[in-house]
Amino acid sequence: MANRSSTWPPAPTTPPAGIPTADTAEAFVARRGPVPPAWGWRGPAAGRASHVGAGVEYQGTTVQLCGLYPFVAGSGAPPVGVPIGRHMLWGEVVCLDPLAWLRAGLVTNPGVFLLGQPGVGKSAISKRLITGMVACGTHALILGDTKAEYTPLVQHLGGQVIRVGRGMDRINPLDSGPLGQALARMDGADAARLRLEIRGRRLSLLLALCTLVRGTRLSNAEEVVLGRAIDLLADRLDRDPTVPDVLRIIDEGPDELQAAARADAADYVRRVDDLVFSLELLCSGSLAGVFDGPTSHPLDLDSPAVSVDISRVAAAGDTLVAAAMLCCWSYGYGMVDAAAVLADLDLAPRRQYLAVMDELWRALRGASGLVEHADALTRLNRQRGMASLMITHSLADLDALPTEEDRAKARGFLERCAVTILAGLPLKELRRVSEVTPLTAPEIDMIKSWAAPESWLPGISHPGRGKYMVKTGERTGMPVELTLVGAERHLYDTDTAVRLSTLKEPA
């Protein structure tokens, strides 16, 4: 390479057009700097091109030149939220956070619906989402862990674990929880409104539990008596009432309850006879020792994650599981509302929550009308600043709900969730999902290919393990593959018991 002189690159000898002729070239260069010629400076290795040719143009159909067609790729995943894996086609990192997506205007509500066969990794992606959102300041609520699979993760995150069961922790369905703590710090009209909210929550949950153990809805007269009994106990007691308190005051039949029932003493006994036995079942039936006393461990508002472990009652049948899950949901949502009330009064920092509702349908198929109770709890998530993650195996679980009205309301859970995550599913299931969340033919083919191994060879990993399709409305789905790292391998593992078990040979 030739040595360049100290004046390299050479200055233009004349000013460009528009510069006054009185202005010398030296003054122009000093003021504006050197202007290169159109094709670069002349000189060895100076990058000058004597001719720039036009690019080669090709024409073809999208079938023939699909690899070059620019619109076969999606618009890319939004880099907002928790990294949940890599895009299976483009390799980019895919992030998800329903609350962050809502703030960014990417979705209209913070609901996530996760659907997939057992063993394909539903727990892994839900736990990845919990871990990442907790790290970003969101408080996680696992409202009814039927298999105790979230307990190690919550303990690892420094959270609170409440174990509900006979002879273990109790949940009082009438416990005002953090709402009662907020009420003690309020007065005037705000206190009156919150007092009515607590009353409504107590009555709603008690009605749901009585419906569950009875199998049918309560009559209008029974609902009126139950509400009046809750009012009397709130006035007479300096603590939260319990179910045995309600049973006792209805059994006593004071004048206020007889007036509410529009009955004299003899007729009153007849009107509340079924109600008394429904309440008695909550205290001394199969649910004894779970909902018949004060709450053992109140939820901690400051805990980064809270898990209510109901695995000890899971073996007692669907009735007890449904009752436990309903109480957990009601208590958890009461905690969120209390946090919002305290924040509005500048008595506590504003918090955001992620509620995880696993095994969703086990709480809904116990009796007709329970879907309505769950629907009322979850409908206002956006106003609460709360994200929800609902998890189930199949939409066919809807068929187990008692009435068509219940099934229609349950379908609303999926319709209201802005984000749908689909793991390995068979074709029949995907067709049902498409009725609510539109799926393209390539998306169906891809998800269907994750449903089952292609061969019978032992040791072959399941093709759908850790693979998910993330759908938001009419947008093209994002196929994502999740890879576990570090401590996730044992914190997210749900197959430990199967893997460690050994088969003994017969003697």
* pLDDT confidence of residue 341: 78
pLDDT tens track for 485-495 = 888 888 887 66
Pairing type for strands 160-163 and 305-309 reads parallel
* CA–CA distance, 45 with 31 (Å, rounded to integer): 27
234-260: average pLDDT: 91
pLDDT tens track for 405-463 = 777 777 777 788 889 999 988 888 899 888 888 899 999 999 998 887 665 666 666 77
As given in the structure block, the two tokens for residue 293 are 């006393």
Between 419 and 18, residue with greater pLDDT: 419
Q: What is the DSSP letter of 397?
A: G
* pLDDT confidence of residue 370: 66
pLDDT tens track for 50-105 = 676 777 777 777 677 666 655 545 456 778 899 999 999 888 889 999 999 998 88
Mean pLDDT score of the chain: 80
Q: What is the CATH number of domain 77-138+352-493?
A: 3.40.50.300
232-258: average pLDDT: 91
pLDDT tens track for 317-333 = 677 777 788 788 887 78
202-209: average pLDDT: 86
* pLDDT confidence of residue 131: 94
User: pTM of the full predicted structure?
Assistant: 0.74
Q: Above pLDDT 70, what percent of the chain? A: 80
* pLDDT confidence of residue 33: 63
Domain ranges of the chain: 77-138+352-493, 167-304+317-351
* CA–CA distance, 505 with 242 (Å, rounded to integer): 53
Nearest alpha carbon to residue 233 among 212, 262, 207, 254: 254
Please list, in sequence order, all residues whose beta carbon lies within 8 angstroms of the beta carbon of residue 305, skipping any fewer than 6 positions away.
130, 134, 139, 140, 141, 142, 153, 154, 157, 158, 159, 160
177-191: average pLDDT: 79
Between 463 and 484, residue with greater pLDDT: 484
* pLDDT confidence of residue 1: 42
When pLDDT is cut at 50, 70 and 90, the band that residue 369 belongs to is: low
Residue 302 has pLDDT above 60, yes or no: yes
* CA–CA distance, 217 with 108 (Å, rounded to integer): 34
* pLDDT confidence of residue 465: 85
Q: Above pLDDT 90, what percent of the chain? A: 22
When pLDDT is cut at 50, 70 and 90, the band that residue 35 belongs to is: low
Nearest alpha carbon to residue 393 among 336, 353, 473, 451: 451
Least confident window among 66-70, 361-365, 382-386: 66-70
| The dihedral sign for the CA sequence 374, 379, 380, 386 | positive
Amino acid at residue number 97: D
* pLDDT confidence of residue 4: 43
* pLDDT confidence of residue 96: 93
* pLDDT confidence of residue 8: 47
Least confident window among 158-167, 338-347, 384-393, 483-492: 338-347
The Cα-based distances of 494 to 41, 130, 463 in angstroms read: 67, 16, 18
| Cα dihedral 358, 124, 393, 417 in deg (nearest 10) | 70
pLDDT tens track for 136-172 = 999 999 988 888 889 999 999 999 998 887 778 888 8
* CA–CA distance, 12 with 62 (Å, rounded to integer): 49
Residue 503 has pLDDT above 50, yes or no: no
* pLDDT confidence of residue 84: 92
